[in-house]
Amino acid sequence: MVSAGPADSEPPPSAWSPLRVAAYRNLWLALLVANIGTWMQTVGAQWLLIDEPNASTLVAMVQTASMLPILLLALPAGALADTFDRRHLLIAVQCFVAAVAVLLAALTAADRMPPALLLTLTFAFGVGQALTLPAWAAIIPDLVPRHYLQSASALGAISVNAARSVGPAVAGVLIARTGPALVFGLNAIAFGIFAFVLLRWRPGDARSVEVPERFTAALRAGGRYVRHSPIVQRLLLRALLFLVPGSALWALLPLVANRRLGLGSSGYGVLLAALGVGAIAGGLVLPVVRHKLSPNQFLLITGLLYGLALIVVAEVPVTWVVLLSLVPAGLAWVVVLSNVNAEIQLFLPGWVRARGLAVYQVVFAGGQAIGALVWGVVADVTGLVVTHLAAAALMVAGALTVRLWPLPDLRADDRDPVTYWPDVRLAHEPDPSVGPVLVTVVYRVRPDRKDEFVHAMEQVRASRQRTGATRWGLFHEGESPDRYVEVYQLASWDEHLRQHGGRLTRADQEAEERARALADGEPEVAHLLPASASPDSD
């Protein structure tokens, strides 16, 4: 179902509401410090390359090197975050990132930082970011009440973009006076602070880790959930349609500052600050925007607004005009991506949340990394003006597809976990690793209900495959016109037990009840195990 109008009439929580929760407030402030350090490092790395041959490509590759690890490692990072203690994982990763920043500072101060090594260490820093993002995003719903979640997403955007405003401006001044080495050193301190606050944080309720999933099984389960969730796929598509053209502005802004506007490092910092100011404003107005407009309305408006900003940057080489155009561009960036991020957090059930968010991070990073590289190469060939105009055209075209691929309406979708299947009673208890396992469910359906039943079972199929089934089929028994047999396969007995023990949501229950209401009597369920798993097979 597609949202066609504003949300309910109750006033939304303010963007600052989650800061009332002390644990979230402390971690948010520490992350803000780390984000400032990250942006200072990004500016330092880009400015080290500004005078190199093929600077357009090299400068754009800083963003690619930062984002590519997220593209490559986000899914394994999500599986780790869903399998192990997220707090411990975050602490270890922040210590690693701080060590990389120390190495960057030391080698830069010693004047031993060629472009290849700089990009390699930037990639290593990105590895730390890739491991951090799914774990951090997954703990937010555990830190704040559900009705604060969209505001918490907006606060996350405010943190990133306040850092984008402060970090580049401070970095520009420091680079102009002392060089990039000090900037890299301050980044190491920033991540040390984040690690310290994480170390002091003691979660009130330990996350349930009854029996951790095996890493490879967890990785496959996350990919399977997204593959069989059309809603997640639609949210990811909308993000990608905005990110790819939008990445041109971020990737090429150092060159716009230097070549089009004649600005130095401090001037580039001011341009980034303008984007950051707009992004902060976007975070603050997001709850109001969601209350007044439908998601698809503001998706269209923000896409057109960002496209207009790209045209201004391309056609008007006047610093104050470019500065003014960057403010609404920053606002549009945050309103779109924060909303998509919040919708994914709200939709994903807890057992797969980090892995689902990791897929979002792959799209987020991949759209920017690939986009930045492509736009950098295009700029080397055609120039900055043509490149920005092409990105603007693509942005507007993507915004206009909102009627073809609208955002889904998730307001009535209940994602709370439920346990409604009866306990399994078998003649013997198999080893959890035994597999594959077949589950058969026999329904009796009158001929006049056949079409409606088959249609209802499509939602059941999606539920089974999201929660563990690797294969699924619905068959009609030739000897009995009213007997239909559902068969689905799982990789192991453990996977099926996890379906019984927390993977199902209220929405899954409702889909199954709709199908069962069309059948006569209770379905007959059987569990088929490999013959080698029988106690009499030895």
The continuous run of DSSP H or E covering 283 comes out as helix 265-292
pLDDT in tens, 395-424: 999 999 988 888 776 665 666 777 888 878
| 487-521 per-position pLDDT tens digit | 999 988 888 888 887 788 888 888 899 999 999 98
pLDDT tops 90 at residue 61: no
Q: Please tell me which of 143-147, 156-160, 180-184, 515-519 the model is most confident about, judged by mean pLDDT.
A: 515-519
| Tens-place pLDDT, residues 15-26 | 677 888 888 888
Distance of CA 204 to CAs 24, 57, 207, Å? 12, 48, 9
Output the pLDDT for position 242.
Answer: 93
Do residues 136 and 90 make contact, with C-beta atoms less than 8 angstroms apart? yes
Is pLDDT larger for residue 156 or for residue 326? 326
pTM score > 0.95 for this model?
Answer: no
Torsion of CA 395, 399, 401, 405, to 10 degrees: 120
What are the CA-CA distances from residue 159 to residues 236, 250, 392, 398 (Å)? 22, 17, 27, 27
Quick one: tokens of 282? 């976007």
Predicted local distance difference test score (pLDDT) of residue 441: 93
> What mean pLDDT is predicted for residues 474-478?
89
Q: For 264-272, what is the mean pLDDT?
A: 78
pLDDT at 359: 84
Q: Is 11 exposed, middle or buried (0-12, 13-18, 19+ CB in 10 A)?
A: exposed
How many beta carbons lie within 10 A of that of residue 142, not counting itself?
15
